[in-house]
Amino acid sequence: MIAWLRVALAAIVIVITSIVLMPWQLLALRFDWRMRRWLPRVWHRIVCFCLGIRVRVHGKMETHRPLMLCANHSSWMDIMVLSSIADVAFIAKIEVRDWPIFGALSKLQKSVFVVREEKRKTGNQASEIAARMADGEIVVLFPEGTTSDGNRLLDVKSSLFGAAAMAVPASPTGVVTVQPVAIAYTGVHGLPTGRYHRPLTSWPGDVEMFPHLKEMLRCGAFEVDVCFGEAVRYGPETKRKDVSATIAQRIRAMLGAALRGRDLD
């Protein structure tokens, strides 16, 4: 009973916050005001607080631009966590656009929706991502291309780094910064998150959305470690496969250390 009262209170606060901020975000998107970049961060910070998601940041996000963040992906919670830390835009598969709730939120954050199966559209999509990065926006890529169980990093798709390559000519320095990020869900109700409890925070593709959302809301006390790793400089001569391999290796190392409870600072 207490758990559901807490959920109800959190829902009320989130709804009120959304009613206040959403009109401003819609106007900012319509007229391309700069506030469209930071309003989602305000909203996500409030939501994370209401849902009991405590975020700990290790390392520092790169200050160089253009910047692409590459992170492991285990749940829709990853988007809230990263958005509460920085003003970011996401690269998402086209199916996300039509999802209930999360599709609307993705549009409000001006995510870039990609159709990976239609190669004729890939160039236009990569061009849009490159233009956004060249304009100073921080773009987040989930290079696995899907969600995992939160215990490991899946194989990274090097083709998804094409947007970074296309942003190189538009960069003032001729270089794009690609930074690895590990998102590790390490605590539930103050206790370490083991493999048994990790399904609460992970959302693999074969799990239905609303039952997972229900269980997550009932729990309502998560600790998340977000680790920013050493970045890679992507220049005109850089090979995508080399970058993807380096990024994958660094994400795996940080994720493994966080899940094993090692000192991350």
> Is the residue at 236 inside a domain?
yes
Residue 23 belongs to a domain: no
In a domain, 18, yes or no: no
Residue 107 domain flag: yes
140-194 pLDDT per residue, tens: 999 998 888 888 899 998 888 888 888 888 888 889 999 999 999 998 877 787 7
**What b-and-e string marks burial along 122-142, b requiring 16 or more CB atoms within 10 Å of the CB?**
beebbebbbebbbeebbbbbb
| 26 domain-assigned | no
C-alpha gyration radius of the chain: 18
Write out the residue range of the structural domain in which residue 159 sits.
53-259
135 within some domain:
yes
> How far is C-alpha 18 from the geometric centre of its chain's CA atoms?
20
C-alpha 231, offset from chain centre: 17
**Per-residue pLDDT tens over the stretch 242-252:** 999 999 999 99
Tokens 């001006």 found at: 110
Q: How many helices (H) and strands (E) does the chain have?
A: 8, 9
Asked whether residue 89 is assigned to any structural domain, the reply reads yes
pLDDT tens digits, one per residue of 3-42? 677 778 888 999 999 999 999 999 999 999 999 999 999 9
Query: How many domains does the chain divide into?
Result: 1
Residue 101 belongs to some domain of the structure = yes
| CA 9 and chain centroid, separation | 26
Check if the beta carbon of residue 166 is closer than 8 Å to that of residue 240. Answer: no
> Which pLDDT score, from 0 to 100, does residue 195 have?
67
Identify which of 72-76, 115-119, 215-219 has the greatest average pLDDT: 72-76
Rounded Cα distance between 208 and 192, Å, is: 25
